[in-house]
Structure 1
Amino acid sequence: MPTSKSEPGAGRAGVYDLAVIGAGPAGLAAADSAAALGLRVALLDAGSRPGGQYYRHPAPELGAARPEKLHHGWAAFARLRARLAASPLVDHLPGHHVWAAEAGVPGDERRPWRLHATRGPGAGDRATVLARAALLATGAYERHLPFPGWTLPGVVTAGGAQAMLKSSLVLPGRRIVVAGSGPLLLAAASSLVAAGAEVPAIVEAASYLGYARGLPVLAGNPGKLAEGAAHGARLLRHGVRLRRSSAVVEAHGTDRVTAVTVARLDARWKPVPGSERRIACDAVAIGHGLVPQIELAAELGAETVTGPDGAVALKVDARQRTSVPGLWAAGETCGVGGADLALAEGVLAARAVAGRPDGGREVAVRRRRRAFAALMAAAHAPGPDWTGWVTDDTDVCRCEEVPAREIREAVAELGAGDARTVKLLTRAGMGWCQGRMCGPAVACLSGGGGAAGRPDSRPLSCPVPLAQLAEPVRSVEQPGPGPD
């Protein structure tokens, strides 16, 4: 229940009405709506500034005159940021990376949610936030499909190239091949050419024919079509060539990438012999879609669903509730669908937590955008034979330097039948990134099917200094006094 302005009891008890984890589009919209309905909100985020990956923006010291030129939908972010900064009911807690969540008991004031976060490397950098309800808006991370040479300097993810541009105002190179699959490629290439880069080709593994099966869905999302048309027009003006049903199957270079080999793909994403072409470049921005980041909920046993592209997302009901009592989710954690969808779901989740009816506009946006997201995922789902371009010497797990040969041997000779067993036998996925980079590839090479694989259930969702784990929980970050 929302805390009344005349009842500062939540502040005395040290318990927020709602803790929102993640300050991207979904988290910002949820915190803003919850505060507007009278709830005391803690907005926890690993980043130092609000916005998440989508609204990533340059640091003030860089002096960017017009940061909005690097973004789509910047006005919505600016409004949310201003309202949240002015709200006495929202405590923005930047630099708080939540590594564990202890579920509370709805209705029992003595057993709230306990969210444990690390704020840095020191022993005293542990924080615990208490709340009556929790909302997961942790977004997604990029799916990586390895290929020979993908560890060369100059090979970055498509999202990483955009992040470099948005946050640091730098380019990963001057002549950049954009490759992989999914609509993020068009957005990334459009941003890069607008910033002065040369993009000799966009190499798209899908054929785009999958969209033909969803004409009614496309008609119901004119905004998405207009956005795609705007990117396409910019790319045409810069002479960028789109190579469909093709993939980068090898990157060349010694100290840095100097060229890539591009091959045509058949319907199962198997490279067509004799179709190889070499393209000179000094950088590659590659991505194969996004994977929902749901580790915190997976550890709590929340139910999941598998999308058309094999990515695993949280299962939520019509009010954004997960199967765990007291836990809501919004945005990419429920399936990747873009910022507009995340904003709408953040509002719907906040209204549900506050016990208010859904807003008709947000329900309509969710319905249209979820349909478009499903169509998009099916159109760009990785084909089963993409592993054909992965040579035995290709490092699949970069952190632990595990080549494909060891993974294939674990399956063929040691009897491993799933990604978890492969990890135990080879250490693939045991490095610093905890399988976020290699997880989808290991799952496919293990023969487990799917392009993502279900996240492991683990008590820590991110690396935590041992000193913080050994430290007793003495202090709890409490909400400040509510408005008079």
Structure 2
Amino acid sequence: MRTDLAVIGAGPAGLAASLVAAARGVRVTLVDASPEAGGQFYRQPAAALGARHPRALHHQWRTWMRLREGLDRHLTAGRITHLTDHHVWCVEGDSTKESSGFEVHALLGPEQEEPVVVRAAAVLLATGGYEKVLPFPGWTLPGVVTAGGAQAMLKGGLVVPGQRGVVAGTGPLLPPVATGLAAAGVTVAALVESADPRLLARQTRALAAEPGKAVEAAGYGARLLRHRVRVLVRHSVVEAHGTGRLTAVTVAALDADGRVRPGTGRRIPCDFLAVGHGMLPHTDLAETLGCRVVGGSVHVDDEQRTDVPGVWAAGEATGVGGAALALAEGHLAGRSIAARLAGAAPDQRGGERAAASRASLRRFAAALDRAYTPRARWAEQVTDDTVVCRCEEVRAGVVRGAVRDLGAGDLRTVKLLTRAGMGWCQGRMCGPAVAGVAGCPETVTRGPFARPVPLGVLAREPEEGCR
């Protein structure tokens, strides 16, 4: 399959870029792992569920409808081809004689059948982000889910993880998760935020530049009050309890250094815990292409171009900042791609608003990063028998032993000595946890593929797989 532009990811950034590029005459192939466009932010319930009021689970519904209607128009006109349920596992340079460009390798569905190769002159990486997972005693019990996972269950499946729960961790995702669950009839016993609200209050300049965000936050606060959700700031979940399934959690207050304050623990009965500690950018495909990654995010210029010619990136992959920032970056990337493929520099007229919005929203995202950071001493509460790598069932004591007794001083050595990070996720999920327990920098070594691939796919002819 040949196209002008391959867009990987159909979230806000990917959709915005696809619509802008297609409107300027670019043939776009939109490749996405989900069965429907929208990404996590605009995740919709399956049509078979017959949701009567899907907009009740979302805000910015009008923006979503504009994106959806625009996509439908371009699909009907043949300017965009949308490959749903396709999982991209590799992107490489195209060395065919017909054209220079890239080959995007994808597999269809959970069974990973029907390999597809999209050959494109340009690629946009709109791969989004994923949740940062930090362990604590009892976190592997059934009933403990990520905050984003709980939200995805509600938005996409119209189901909830339990009847009485706790939402905990840190970050701006927690209030919408708590209010969404409460509105669905769940008893949210507590929202446990480890950050100090005074840190957020100090970011006055960045916050003042985005008054809409303040209104949104106030709305969540009002809903928390209406649903009688108890909010505990400067607190953290230190242990989950249960035999075979979660039955309660213990939360405790934190001091200024992030340590648990003795004597402040309280036990909260619950049948689920939705816990999140922020988001991390998906950079796997960017790294395999050789794109520069700085501070865990794909580095881009003012046009959203990476340092690899022909490769652009937008959205959470370039730094977690929310849907509005992703839309602005996608818009700018689409304009740049259309112009560059036509052999011209982007027309600055009409792009000033998106550029200004991007700059303001990036400052706002940086302010949130400074305010919402996982507590510094979280690893001190991880007992030696706590599993930190679920794929290989490696416990914290084994990781600490590799550092203390075997001299491991970096994450790669810890991995070689303990197998932590050698499983299915290849360290994507457990990397921050293992690094924190080991006291090493978070420098996870990426493999050549962005996801596990069946051996049969790799054994095919050279033109059907990454070389």
What is the CA–CA distance in structure 1 between the aligned matches of 2:81 and 2:99, rounded to whole Å?
22
- Which among 85, 93, 113 is matched to residue 83 of structure 2? 93
What is the CA–CA distance in structure 1 between the aligned matches of 2:369 and 2:8, rounded to whole Å?
25
For 1:237, give the aligned amino acid: R
Deviations 1:452-475 (A, max 9, x none): x24423111101111111112567
How many Å apart are 1:78 and its aligned residue? 1.9
- Which among 44, 56, 65 is matched to residue 31 of structure 2? 44
What is the CA–CA distance in structure 2 between the aligned matches of 1:376 and 1:133, rounded to whole Å?
33
For 2:45, the equivalent position in structure 1 comes to: 58
For 2:386, the equivalent position in structure 1 comes to: 394
What is the CA–CA distance in structure 2 between the aligned matches of 1:185 and 1:80, rounded to whole Å?
26
For 1:315, the equivalent position in structure 2 comes to: 299
Pairing 1:412–2:404 present: yes
Alignment of 1:266-277 (within 5 A): 266-277=255-266
For 1:118, give the aligned amino acid: L
What is the CA–CA distance in structure 2 between the aligned matches of 1:124 and 1:336, rounded to whole Å?
32
For 2:305, give the aligned amino acid: R
SS at match of 1:152: coil
Contact 1:112 1:131 (8 Å CA) reproduced:
yes
What is the CA–CA distance in structure 1 between the aligned matches of 2:291 and 2:142, rounded to whole Å?
38
SS at match of 2:20: helix
Corresponding pairs, count: 453
For 1:81, the equivalent position in structure 2 comes to: 68
For 1:381, the equivalent position in structure 2 comes to: 373
What is the CA–CA distance in structure 1 between the aligned matches of 2:169 and 2:111, rounded to whole Å?
39
How many Å apart are 1:104 and its aligned residue? 5.1
SS at match of 2:384: coil
For 1:297, the equivalent position in structure 2 comes to: 286
For 1:115, give the aligned amino acid: V
- Which among 308, 312, 315 is matched to residue 324 of structure 1? 308
Higher-RCO chain (CA-CA 8 Å, sequence separation at least 6): 1
For 2:449, the equivalent position in structure 1 comes to: 460
For 1:77, give the aligned amino acid: W
Pairing 1:147–2:136 present: yes
Assess, with a 3 A threshold, how the Cα gap between structure 1 residues 343 and 121 changes in structure 2: closer, same or farther. Answer: closer
Worse-matched range after superposition: 335-344 or 349-358: 349-358
- Which among 437, 443, 450 is matched to residue 435 of structure 2? 443
Using the size of structure 1 for normalisation, the TM-score is 0.91
What is the CA–CA distance in structure 2 between the aligned matches of 1:379 and 1:323, rounded to whole Å?
30
Using the size of structure 2 for normalisation, the TM-score is 0.94
SS at match of 1:202: strand
For 2:181, the equivalent position in structure 1 comes to: 192
For 2:342, the equivalent position in structure 1 comes to: none
For 1:338, give the aligned amino acid: G
What is the CA–CA distance in structure 2 between the aligned matches of 1:430 and 1:362, rounded to whole Å?
41
Contact 1:121 1:465 (8 Å CA) reproduced:
no
For 1:60, give the aligned amino acid: A
Contact 2:304 2:329 (8 Å CA) reproduced:
yes
For 2:336, the equivalent position in structure 1 comes to: 352
Identify unmatched segments of 5+ residues in structure 1. Answer: 1-13, 307-311, 477-484
Alignment of 1:418-433 (within 5 A): 418-433=410-425
How many Å apart are 1:109 and its aligned residue? 5.8
Contact 2:94 2:119 (8 Å CA) reproduced:
no
How many Å apart are 1:212 and its aligned residue? 2.5
Worse-matched range after superposition: 50-59 or 243-252: 50-59
Deviations 1:211-249 (A, max 9, x none): 222211111101111111111100011111111111000
Assess, with a 3 A threshold, how the Cα gap between structure 1 residues 446 and 90 changes in structure 2: closer, same or farther. Answer: same
Assess, with a 3 A threshold, how the Cα gap between structure 1 residues 54 and 234 changes in structure 2: closer, same or farther. Answer: same
How many Å apart are 1:209 and its aligned residue? 1.6
What is the CA–CA distance in structure 2 between the aligned matches of 1:27 and 1:54, rounded to whole Å?
12
What is the CA–CA distance in structure 1 between the aligned matches of 2:195 and 2:178, rounded to whole Å?
17
SS at match of 1:435: coil
Identity of aligned pairs, percent? 56
What is the CA–CA distance in structure 2 between the aligned matches of 1:175 and 1:95, rounded to whole Å?
33
SS at match of 1:203: strand
SS at match of 1:178: strand
How many Å apart are 1:433 and its aligned residue? 2.2
